[in-house]
Chains A and B, each alone.
Chain A
Amino acid sequence: METTSTLEKTLRLLALTLVVIFFMFPIVWIFLMSFQTNETILRIPPQVIFEPTLSNYTALITGKLTSAAGTLDIAFMKNLGNSVFLSVTSVALALVLGVPAAYAFARHKFKGSEDIAFTLLSFRFAPPLLVLLPLTQYFQWLGLANTYIGLIWVYQLICLPLILWIVRGYFEDISADVEYAYRIAGHSWFATFRRIALPLAGPGIAAAGLLAFIFAWNNFVFALVLASADKQPVTVGALAFVTSSGIQYGQIAAAIVLSVTPTLALALYAQRYLVEGLSLGAVKG
């Protein structure tokens, strides 16, 4: 028995190692690439031993990309700022709109409430490319093309349904009696929402907000079509590294590392809420 269990352990460890290598290798490789020049990256065969350089990061941060063909301006830091601004405001707006709506859908069954909720969810079904063309037209008429407001509005297509449907489930999980008890004790429905429903659904709201943030951050196609250079997030801005004098692999790698960092940090910080929030029944009284 002892031998089989040792064998089993070894095999399990081996399998885990393979899986980790498979998933982590690209990330580690990009991390390593970000400290190399284009020349060392393109060496054949590739080498793990190299002289690290911070030139990629300095180029990104100063915004000056020096290549064989000359100096090029790169608005990466601006793009990163746009990403942060667009994602944070979009998620904030989606929370302000979505959480009360989720509460209404969870607690008040009115005529057509299911239909409205489903319609909001259906925004997620349509391929973004399908709605982009008419949207671009409308936005030009409305003067919303290439504005932050326009982009934040479109980002609601991504964030709002997500928050609405996840948070609604959490509100439905709160026993109605708990809320009744607070009402009967003499508090208004709004106080009940604020003091009982919101804190109890807190982990779920945090989880939904984080997911919405990641989706908004990673969005590419809406920003590609609806925003020009100065409003673009990193996902679109990265295209600038494909220059006439070649692809700047080092800078791309550094840009990826920088743009992954905020979501990664947020996810690590919010991990306990995620686990708490995504495991159902966390708010049973």
Chain B
Amino acid sequence: MTTLQLENIVKRYKNHTVLDNLSLDVKDGETLVLFGPSGAGKTVLLRLVAGVIDPEEGRILIGGADMTDVDAEHRGIGMAFQNFALFPHMDAFENIATPLEAKRSSADAIKAGVHRVAKLLKIDHVLTHQPKALSNGQKQRTALARALAGSPPLLLLDDPLRNVDAKLRFEMRLELPRVLAAQGATVVYVTQDYKEAMALGDRIAVISDGRIRQIGTPEDIYNAPADIDIARLFGDPTINLLDVTPNAEADGVSVLLSDVRIALPGIPANAAGKACVLGLRPETLRFVPAGTPGAIPVTVEAETPLNEKTVTLALTVRSREILVSRPAGTPGPASGSAHIAVDGANAFLFDKETGALIARHGSHTGTQGEAA
């Protein structure tokens, strides 16, 4: 285990700034997920840490030691690549053995080391296979095994589940925490899949356009997204975003949805009159019988039953689309017209102009201070 600190990293390609004064602190033994859209700079960041490319500015510290100018082979890092990057002319055993060979381990130690990780990743039966004879899932496990084999204190995983099918991805999502725990390393994990990020991360750093937008625990980010983009990236189905203009009330502000007043407790009064966006997670909405106080009348457009939940697309009287999600098997709306209850306490309010979350008084907003 070790720590990783990035201080004011700047990386440019020609005139394009890929990483813009980025700082990041990964704690000892933690799994930090770098989450963001493609082109956000996640892979570049990992390569900088690995030492295969150099930053224009800034420092990289591993375990407190400045590694900015240290060659990749001396940084003591394990890395798994999105495209596996297996050595095509070596069999799986030789692939996995490469970090151990670099340490000049004895033949017995190499054998023991390879079998340890092969067993952990359940590929001990394909060790004599060439990479082209391996299935995608086995390739990905071999690549992971190779990254783990040298027992590196710092492990970089660049979207390792990207190129495997959905079933394998699901399996590995369950299995990886056990594997990583057995390894006891500090992990930086890159992904574009929010479920992977939520499942694997002790903390998640949301990165886009070369900057960290928000960093915090999965709960922090889900329950208090720093801006509209982040709210949109986490959650399936996507959060409902409705343009609103809050009104001042005696005890804060409220918004009108289909002429029904919804109080937003804790939102500061200066939000009143500003163009805002109301964010409603589909799973916080409930269908209620007509006549329930504060219920919004809607028309049910379509229902999509998924395995574990049912998603309903509804239209408000002003034809605004709202997604409602409920656990599978629970009763849904009876007919074309229905009513939805909205709990203002679960709603997010964003500034429409800046996209930033309007914080509530005394609410917990995670560690977004680092987002600058």
Q: Per a CB cutoff under 8 Å, which of B52, B83, B87, B131 touches A184?
A: B52
Is A154 in the interface zone, CB < 8 Å from B?
Answer: no
**Structural contact, B72 and A283, CB atoms closer than 8 A:** no
| Cβ contact within 8 Å between B85 and A178 | yes
Interface string of B12-50 (1 = CB under 8 A from A): 000000000000000000000000000000000001001
> Does residue A127 face the partner (Cβ distance < 8 Å to B)?
no
Asked whether A133 is an interface residue with its Cβ less than 8 Å from the other chain, the reply is: no
Interface string of A173-211 (1 = CB under 8 A from B): 001011011111111110000001001100000000000
In the assembled complex, B217 has its CB within 8 A of some CB on chain A = no
Q: Enumerate chain A residues within 8 angstroms of B146, measured Cβ to Cβ.
A: 181, 185
A183 touches which one: B72, B86, B89, B131 (CB < 8 A)? B72
Q: Number of B residues whose C-beta is below 8 Å from A?
A: 29
Q: Which residue of A lies closest to B98 (CB)?
A: A185
- Distance to closest chain B CB from A155 (angstroms): 32
Q: Per-residue 0/1 for B78-101: is the Cβ within 8 Å of any A Cβ (1 yes, 0 no)?
A: 110101111111000000001101
B residues in contact with A45, CB < 8 Å:
none
Q: Say yes or no for B51: interface residue by CB 8 A criterion.
A: yes
Check A186 against B88 for contact (C-beta < 8 Å). no
Residues from 52 to 73 in B contacting A, C-beta threshold 8 Å: 52, 71-73
* Distance of A183 Cα from B52 Cα, bound (Å): 8
Whether, in the assembled complex, A134 has its beta carbon less than 8 Å from a beta carbon of chain B, the answer is no
A285 within 8 A of B: yes
A181 with B150: CB separation less than 8 A: no
B250 an interface residue at 8 Å Cβ cutoff? no
Tell whether, in the assembled complex, residue A184 and residue B88 are in contact, meaning their CB atoms are under 8 Å apart: no
Minimum distance in angstroms from A180 CB to a CB of chain B: 4
Which A residues touch B101, using CB under 8 A?
187
Are A183 and B83 in contact, with the CB atoms below 8 A?
no
Alpha-carbon distance A80/B346, docked complex (angstroms): 90
Docked-complex contact A182 and B87, CB < 8 angstroms: yes
Size category of the binding interface on chain A: 10 to 19
Is B103 engaged at the interface, CB distance under 8 Å to the other chain? yes
Instruction: Provide the main secondary structure of the chain A interface.
Output: helix
Query: Which one of A180, A184, A283 has the highest number of Cβ atoms from chain B below 10 Å of its Cβ?
Result: A184
Residue of B50, B76, B89 touching A200 (CB-CB under 8 A): B89
B73 surroundings in chain A (CB, below 8 A): 183-188
Which listed residue, B74, B79, B89, touches A181 by the CB 8 Å rule?
B79
Q: Smallest distance from the beta carbon of B157 to chain A beta carbons, Å?
A: 12
Q: Please name all residues of chain B whose beta carbon is closer than 8 Å to the beta carbon of A283 when the two chains form the complex.
A: 88
A61 to B98, alpha carbons, bound, how many Å? 54
Chain A residues with CB below 8 A from B84, complex form: 285
Q: Is B131 a contact partner of A180 (Cβ separation < 8 A)?
A: no
Contact, CB under 8 Å: A175 / B85: yes
Q: Does B102 contact A (CB under 8 A)?
A: yes
Establish whether residues A181 and B81, one from each chain, have CB atoms under 8 Å apart when the complex forms. yes
**Contacting pair B85 A180 (CB below 8 A):** yes
CA distance A284 to B84 in the complex (A): 12
Bound together, the chains give a CA A199 to CA B52 distance in angstroms of 21
Q: Which residues of A contact B72 (CB under 8 A)?
A: 180, 183-184
| Given A177-B83, A285-B83, A285-B131: A184 in contact with B89 (beta carbons within 8 A) | no
- Specify which chain A residues have a CB less than 8 angstroms from the CB of B75 in the assembled complex: 184
- B103 lies within 8 A of A184 (CB): no
Q: Is B77 an interface residue (CB 8 A)?
A: yes
A184: chain B residues at CB < 8 Å are 50-52, 72-73, 75, 77-79
Cα–Cα distance between A283 and B86 once the two chains are bound (Å): 12
In angstroms, Cα B226 to Cα A119, docked, is 55
Are A180 and B50 CB-contacts (below 8 A) given A175-B83, A186-B99, A285-B131?
A: yes
Q: Which residues of B contact A189 (CB under 8 A)?
A: 71
Complex: chain B residue closest to A285, CB-CB? B88
Selected from A177, A183, A200, the residue in CB contact (under 8 A) with B88 is A200
Cross-interface CB contact of A178 among B78, B87, B99, B150, cutoff 8 Å: B87
Please state if B87 and A180 are interface contacts (CB–CB under 8 Å).
Answer: no
Which of B51, B76, B81, B86 has the largest number of chain A CB atoms within 10 A? Answer: B81
A180 partner, pick from B47, B89, B98, B103, beta carbons under 8 A = B47
Give A181 Cβ to nearest chain B Cβ, in Å: 4
Contact B99 A185 (CB under 8 A): yes
Which of A178, A186, A199 has most B Cβ within 10 Å? A186
Task: Tell whether, in the assembled complex, residue B52 and residue A285 are in contact, meaning their CB atoms are under 8 Å apart.
Answer: no
Give the Cβ gap from B219 to chain A, nearest Cβ, in Å.
33
Whole-angstrom CA separation of A8 from B145 in the bound complex: 57
Q: How far is the CB of B61 from chain A (nearest CB, A)?
A: 18
Which of A178, A187, A200, A285 has its CB near the most chain B CB atoms (within 10 A)?
Answer: A285
Q: How far is the CB of B87 from chain A (nearest CB, A)?
A: 6
Residues of B within 8 A of A177 (CB): 81, 83, 85
Q: Which residues of A contact B (CB under 8 A)?
A: 175, 177-178, 180-189, 196, 199-200, 283-285
**Additional pairs, 9, CB under 8 Å, beyond known A180-B72, A285-B84, A285-B88:** A181-B146, A183-B51, A183-B71, A185-B150, A186-B74, A186-B98, A187-B73, A187-B102, A285-B83
16 examples of A-B residue contacts, CB within 8 angstroms: A177-B83, A180-B52, A180-B85, A181-B87, A182-B87, A182-B98, A183-B52, A184-B78, A184-B79, A185-B73, A185-B78, A185-B146, A187-B98, A188-B73, A189-B71, A285-B85
Q: B residues touching A (Cβ–Cβ < 8 Å)?
A: 47, 50-52, 71-79, 81, 83-89, 98-99, 101-103, 131, 146, 150
